[in-house]
Amino acid sequence: MTAPVLSRAPRTAVPATPHRPRRPARWVIGATVTVVVVLAFWSVDITWARLADLPSELVRYGWLMFSSPTWEKLPDALWQTWQSVQMAWVGTVLGILIATPLSLIAARGFGHAWLRAVLRFVFSTIRAVPEIIFAIIILSMTGLTPLTGALALAINGVGTLGKWGYEAVEAVPPGPIEAARAAGGSPVQVLRWGVWPQATPVFLSFWLYRFEINVRSSAVLGLIGVGGIGDMLTTYTQYREWSTVGMLLIVVIAVTMAIDGISGRIRRRIMEGARVR
């Protein structure tokens, strides 16, 4: 008798190790960025040896400003700070009134494609320009007044609030919107009943956050003479009255931190609701 022939299992082919993909575009971009950074450092006229003196100079000026602040100027500093807050508030309100309806139109599904493109381009262009540039342009019409700062903050706020607004509208769940449209609602009614109830907490949070930004920016706008605490900082820095400058910085930091803290708590309450004890 012949021995049975044992069948051998077929050998499975071992897959070849895939080659690492080549990404020449990534190398080109990395090399380009490196060259640009090196050229930027090389072309800037900076005395690098003076960087070693920076820590000691910071300590010296810190001592001049905060060792004995001039508290006699505190009433004037508080009044100018109040003007800065007013400037920020007016700029925020004007920005909200302009940006909110435009952001609703710029949202996908509520405006024509060409109109959305135009509005989004305008929002991007405004965001690319600092507030101080708008203030310098407005100076020729309104002069060195707090209104100039408020208008500059309002224009700049339109860019950020507009972008935040249409992104918030587009992030709304589609269920209520579809229900409003199925019921025969007009675009305005869909926005009123399908979008706004859900987007209101986000909009309120954005408005408060923009007010925080405007409070800080109003101090910077004061540097060009439109009033507020920044105007006092510029004046006393030019005369090198460091003790007064230190007192002004203390006021600015304290007021800004207080507004940020209050606004932050309000925003958390809006977004998260009341905490159950």
- Kindly report which listed range (123-127, 197-201, 268-272) carries the lowest average pLDDT score: 268-272
pLDDT surpassing 90 at residue 139: no
**What would the pLDDT profile of 109-120 be if each residue is shown by its tens digit?**
777 889 989 999
Which residue has better confidence, 8 or 245? 245
Q: Which residue has the higher pLDDT, 275 or 120?
A: 120
The whole-number average pLDDT for the span 164-193 is: 83
pLDDT of 152: 92
For position 163, what pLDDT does the model report? 92
Give residue-wise pLDDT tens across range 84-126: 899 999 999 999 999 999 998 898 877 788 998 999 999 999 9
- N- to C-terminal Cα separation, the chain: 90
Q: What pLDDT is attached to residue 16?
A: 58
Q: Of the given ranges (56-60, 151-155, 217-221, 273-277), which has the lowest mean pLDDT?
A: 273-277
For residue 195, the 8-state DSSP code is I
pTM of the model: 0.77
Sequence letter at residue 240: R
Average pLDDT along the chain: 83
pLDDT score for 156: 92
- In contact, 229 and 252? CB cutoff 8 Å: yes
| Closest by CA position to 210, among listed 108, 122, 103 | 103
pLDDT tens sequence across 19-46: 666 667 778 788 888 888 777 777 776 7
Q: Measuring CA to CA, how many Å separate 80 from each of 20, 114, 176, 238?
A: 63, 45, 47, 18
Q: How far apart are CA 154 and CA 90, in angstroms?
A: 8
Average pLDDT on 238-254 reads 89
**pLDDT greater at residue 93 or residue 141:** 93
- On whether the CB atoms of residues 134 and 151 are closer than 8 A, the answer is yes
Which domains occur in the chain, in start order?
A: 68-272 (1.10.3720.10)
Separation of alpha carbons 93 and 272, rounded Å: 24
- Report which DSSP code applies to 1: -
Query: Could you tell me the sign of the dihedral formed by the alpha carbons of 93, 97, 99, 101, in that order?
Result: positive
Rounded percentage of the chain residues whose pLDDT exceeds 90: 20
The answer to whether 191 and 110 have CB atoms below 8 angstroms apart is: yes
Strand (E) or helix (H) holding 171? none
